[in-house]
Amino acid sequence: MCKTILSFSYEMRSEFDRDITRHDFRLMCIPRGSLRQRVLRAVCEVSPYTWLSEDCDGFGNPYVYGAAGDHHRLFHVRVSGQVQTGLADFEEYASENDGLFRFPSPMTVPGPKITHYFGRLRPPDEAGTPLARARFYMEQLHRDFSYRSGVTDTATTAEQALAQGCGVCQDFAHLLTALCRLDGIPARYAAGMLTGEGQTHAWTEVLSGGRWYGLDPTHGRAVDCNYIKLSHGRDCRDCLVNRGLYCNPARETQRIRASVAVLPPA
Amino acid sequence: MHDICREADAINEQLARYGVKFGIYKNNVFKEQLFPFDAIPRIIEADEFAYLERGLRQRVTALNCFLADIYSDKKIVKDGVIPPEFIYSSSGYLPQCEGVKPPKNIASHISGIDLVQSQDGTWYVLEDNLRVPSGASYPLIARDLCRRASPRTFRERRIEDNRNYAGLLKQVMDYVNTGGDNVIMTPGRYNAAFFEHSYLAEKTGAALVTGSNLFVENDVLYYLDYSGEKRRIGAIYRRVSDEYLDPMNFLPESLIGVPHMFDVFRKGNVAILNAPGNGVADDKGIYYFVPKMVKYYLDEDCITRNAPTYLPYYEQDRRYVLDHLGEIVIKDVAEAGGYGVVFGSKLTRQEKEDMAALIQSEPRRFIAQDVIDFIDIDIMENGERTPRKADLRAFVLSGEDVVVWKSGLTRFSRDPDSFIVNSSQGGGFKDTWVLSR
């Protein structure tokens, strides 16, 4: 794996058709450091705000939160910086809290569809490492499940997504997570960004030999130096990139742009 | 005591005027009904209560050790005493609480332990309630009214005064308070226990607030008092369940919560009573392990007794449960308030088969218990004494010390054939007299 420096930015602009007040927000879009990636610089700009604070949640994910109390029609967030990736092809197993990722979570409970699908999958080497088996599930899923946006949303469970046969990266990640857990492999949901321009991305991490490995079922490949990780959790509900709540019934138009580019070596 | 029985109707009228009601949601309809008071008290002898006191203090101490351990090192899981799925598959386990240490490291400040006494006199714990157990205000106000109806009874008999409950509660709030006012947070007027919230606020001198009076600024929780002045909160006794507490950290659709309240708690800037995440310790599946917790954390034998309980999760227990389905009671671990309780003896053959299949496919979902034939206590019905099944909710307060309140809520089933005494199932209540010698 090659060490790479990525420059990134995550931008969210929310426009409201009338003034809103008492706007509370919580943002989980700051890259987290690990053996795989080192955060060289990260700057978070929020406007407007009356107060801001930061912390790490129960999974160790950094987040910024606060409120914008005064009237406003535009809310803007920009996180930017540089991350060195490719330092290793795995993440450390730090918390010893893998039990959390061994059992079904609300969005990944296997129903009849997933159980049936899992029953049909036969890893070529059943005694292989958890990583090898997870890779096999990823490849199968990449082949059998198709990418289509607009047919699922943040409330879609893995079971519902499989019934539909298509979805977005979140659904791919939920499904791979559910399959691995059925096989007894601790698996977690990861949210992050990928080189290029667009939305945030999601994939799955599996525990194998005391290390967490990232697998991206949407693209059918292992997570490499092109990925910046923001957070992980049991499923997408633990990794919501932004949450907001405000007074006044306003129509909100939200635009999100994530962009990641390889920085040429100095 | 006869005086009190004579005054029973008047006391019930007073209770109705004070708003001692119980609200029930059933099929999306809110129905409020009076919580009927029966004047014949439950009487517990001094030495018997001394035994309960020792047992309950030990039990709640161990449960608090468990909560501190579960959201940090999880030694009890690593040492193989409790299987990990009983923690992580529990709906009460909140990963948000990982690594968060509540002020003074106390998670369950107000614990409601439900007990029954069997025909042979043995007390059994049926359930631990460590989230927001309600009910202390009912015997509290009933005692107050009884004392007025018959002061003589309480002069002549050696009955422990139970009017110190509010004082004990205030001591606990003051002890964990991180600097600021004490408040009691209610979901509002339509909550089943609204009477209790307002009564306890009045008695403890805490401000009664709802989510809309509360807000967070710079990692401090504030409320607006009656004059519109902003005041800092040091301890919040919230009567809102975990999921609805903070839409930024828990259910995003909650309208009764306070955005960022949990972040303030995480920073150590407010005490939340009881701490979020306690549901992992009063889960019906975890109940089985409480005696093991006592041994593990305190290195003592458990004084209180659990009802004989079987976990279908263990194969040996599963076989027992399937073989004795007609004699036992089966409880769905995810349900509370008397819902999801099935008596095997009442099932038809088909229902039994369905239940057996369900237990086999989802063994973690159920616990099974031997049916305890618990004692009847007389109630007055149409001027005559008639026996009814009754349980006891004992209240244990954990602050600087762990104290068992010398009273409790005795609930009885109004239906002569029912064992289920929960107020949400339409039962009534009695005062509980603890004799001082």
> For chain A, what are the domain ranges?
4-86+242-262, 91-239
B81, B97, B221, B248, best to mutate vs chain A, most A CBs in 10 Å: B248
Q: How far apart are CA A14 and CA A256, in angstroms?
A: 9
| E-state strands within chain A | 4-27, 38-47, 51-56, 62-68, 72-85, 91-92, 146-147, 166-167, 187-194, 196-198, 201-208, 211-216, 221-222, 227-233, 242-247, 252-262
Residue in A closest to B71 by C-alpha: A58
> Which residues lie below 8 Å from residue B303, measured CB to CB, with a gap of 6+?
B51, B54, B55, B58, B59, B294
- Residue ranges of chain B with pLDDT lower than 50? none
CA distances from B308 to B62, B289, B321, B333, B368 (A): 20, 12, 12, 16, 9
Q: How far apart are CA A140 and CA A143, in angstroms?
A: 5
> Which residues lie below 8 Å from residue B12, measured CB to CB, with a gap of 6+?
B34, B36, B37
A245, A246, A247, best to mutate vs chain B, most B CBs in 10 Å: A245
Please answer whether residues A200 and A242 qualify as being in contact, where contact means their C-beta atoms are separated by less than 8 angstroms: no
pLDDT, tens digit, 9 for 90 and up, residues A229-266: 999 999 999 999 999 998 878 899 999 999 999 998 76
Residues paired with A242 in a beta bridge: A27
Class of the domain covering A91-239: alpha beta
Q: Would you call B281 helix, strand, or coil by DSSP?
A: coil
Distance from CA of B293 to the nearest CA of A (A): 19
| pLDDT of res. A175 | 98
Q: Could you tell me the two tokens for B337?
A: 């308030």
| pLDDT of res. B426 | 64
Q: Which residues of B touch A99 (CB under 8 A)?
A: 74, 77, 84-85, 87-88
Q: How far apart are CA B12 and CA A72, in angstroms?
A: 54
| pLDDT of res. B217 | 97
Residue A243 is nearest to which of B87, B97, B248, comparing CB atoms? Answer: B248
Residue A24 is nearest to which of B88, B219, B248, comparing CB atoms? Answer: B248
CATH architecture of the region B308-370: 2-Layer Sandwich (3.30)
Protein fold of A4-86+242-262: Immunoglobulin-like (2.60.40)
Q: Which residues of B touch A233 (CB under 8 A)?
A: 95
Residue in B closest to A233 by C-alpha: B95
Contact A24 B259 (CB under 8 A): yes
Name the pairing type of β-strands B409-412 and B123-129: unpaired
What pTM, to 2 d.p., does this model score?
0.94
Tell me the residues of A at the B interface, defined by beta carbons under 8 Å apart.
22, 24-26, 50-51, 53, 55, 57-59, 65, 67, 96-97, 99-100, 102-104, 233-234, 238, 240, 243, 245
Q: Per-residue confidence of chain A (266 residues) as pLDDT tens digits?
A: 689 999 999 999 999 999 999 999 999 999 999 999 999 999 999 999 999 999 999 999 999 999 998 999 999 999 999 999 999 999 988 766 778 899 999 999 999 999 999 999 988 877 789 999 999 999 999 999 999 999 999 899 999 999 999 999 999 999 999 999 999 999 999 999 999 999 999 999 999 999 999 999 999 999 999 999 999 999 999 999 999 998 878 899 999 999 999 998 76
The complex's ipTM works out to: 0.93
A22, A49, A57, A246, best to mutate vs chain B, most B CBs in 10 Å: A57
CATH 3.30.1490.270 location in chain B: 308-370
Residue with tokens 């009477």: B195
Residue with tokens 């499904």: A175
Q: Which residues of A touch B100 (CB under 8 A)?
A: 58
| E-state strands within B73-122 | 110-117
> Which residues lie below 8 Å from residue B52, measured CB to CB, with a gap of 6+?
B44, B115, B123, B304, B394, B404
Contact A58 B100 (CB under 8 A): yes
Contact A245 B247 (CB under 8 A): yes
Please answer whether residues B427 and B114 qualify as being in contact, where contact means their C-beta atoms are separated by less than 8 angstroms: no
pLDDT, tens digit, 9 for 90 and up, residues A93-117: 876 677 889 999 999 999 999 999 9
Pinpoint the alpha helices (H) of B312-396: 315-323, 349-361
Q: How far apart are CA B219 and CA B19, in angstroms?
A: 37
- Chain A contact for B34 (CB, 8 A cutoff): no
Contact B84 A57 (CB under 8 A): no
Q: How far apart are CA B295 and CA B316, in angstroms?
A: 23
Q: Which residues of A touch B98 (CB under 8 A)?
A: 58-59, 97
Residues paired with B196 in a beta bridge: none
Size of interface A-B (CB pairs under 8 A): 67
- Chain A contact for B81 (CB, 8 A cutoff): no
Q: Which residues of B touch A243 (CB under 8 A)?
A: 247-248, 252
Q: Which residues of A touch B77 (CB under 8 A)?
A: 99
